[in-house]
Copies of this chain bind each other. A is one copy, B any other.
Amino acid sequence: MADVQDPQKPKTPRELARIRTIAQIVQLGREHLALHGAAALSLRAVARDLGVVSSAVYRYVESRDELLTLLLIDAYGELGDAVDAAVEPFPADDFRGRFAALAHAVREWAVREPSRYSLLFGSPVPGYQAPAERTTGPGTRVVTCLMGILDSAYRAGRLAAPDAAVVHPALAADFEAIRGGLDLAVPDALLARGALVWTSIFGAVSFEVFGQYGADTFSAPDELFQHHVDMLARVAGFD
């Protein structure tokens, strides 16, 4: 039997049909997610839209949580693509520009896809725990990109020196692991600054998307975010 793991699988028709059906389910799930939100995502409703009885869907998707995981990966991928596409046009040495592009790309995607952003960065769906081994890869694309920009700027000598604040020794090992994992050169203090900037971007986006600012507190959210990004670029140490 030749069912050793050959990378070029011949794909029987049945396998192809299966893949197509799963893609349809994910697509429908994506629409339901965008329309009604994560917790309202119903396998039965997806089945109805697929023109099939609910139990049939379980042939393709193990459970509702499994579908959520698929949609999670799907959304992480799109966000990562959006960020990459926004950063790429800027010259490699325009660190500030790339940083600002990243931040605005995150925000724009979040505003465009609030339900999917909520799935990624909102409160965890109750009873659902994302399987780390399948989601950490796509889930770390944005922070990897951000840290890459910081690191390049540091290597180019274009990142302001760390301020007085000393990084607590208990964090040294963690930072060293991050540095190793992402192949970075930035010292601890700058890495900590990067982490703060990272959380701040998502804090600002989440406040806006989740409506924490209040109904009509800010009539010009674009300009508010722009200003935040300006300040964060300064915090990060760009030029």
Whether, in the assembled complex, A231 has its beta carbon less than 8 Å from a beta carbon of chain B, the answer is yes
Is A168 a contact of B226 with CB atoms below 8 Å?
A: yes
Whether, in the assembled complex, A207 has its beta carbon less than 8 Å from a beta carbon of chain B, the answer is yes
- Residue in B140, B203, B230 whose CB lies within 8 Å of A204: B203
Q: Which residues of B contact A55 (CB under 8 A)?
A: none
Is B199 a contact of A228 with CB atoms below 8 Å?
A: yes
Shortest distance from the beta carbon of A63 to any chain B beta carbon, whole Å: 16
A201, closest chain B residue (CB): B203
Is A118 a contact of B124 with CB atoms below 8 Å?
A: yes
The A77-119 residues at the B interface (CB cut-off 8 A) are: 118-119
- Of A37, A140, A232, chain B has the most CB atoms within 10 Å of the CB of A37
Is A170 a contact of B227 with CB atoms below 8 Å?
A: no
In the complex, which range does the number of interface residues on chain A fall in?
A: 35 or more
A231, closest chain B residue (CB): B196
Q: Are A168 and B121 CB-contacts (below 8 A) given A39-B39, A126-B37, A200-B199? A: no
Contact with B along A160-189 (1 / 0, CB 8 A): 000101011011011001100000000000
Contact with B along A204-237 (1 / 0, CB 8 A): 1011001110110111100110111011101100
- Residue in B121, B126, B214, B217 whose CB lies within 8 Å of A39: B126
Is A163 a contact of B214 with CB atoms below 8 Å?
A: no
Q: Are A214 and B136 CB-contacts (below 8 A) given A171-B227, A196-B228? A: yes
Q: Which residues of B contact A228 (CB under 8 A)?
A: 192, 195-196, 199
Cα separation A34 to B114 with both chains bound (whole Å): 25
Shortest distance from the beta carbon of A137 to any chain B beta carbon, whole Å: 11
Q: Which residues of B contact A177 (CB under 8 A)?
A: 217
Whether, in the assembled complex, A125 has its beta carbon less than 8 Å from a beta carbon of chain B, the answer is yes
- Interface, chain A (partner B; CB < 8 A): 36-40, 118-119, 121-127, 132, 136, 140, 163, 165, 167-168, 170-171, 173-174, 177-178, 192-193, 195-196, 199-204, 206-207, 210-212, 214-215, 217-220, 223-224, 226-228, 230-232, 234-235
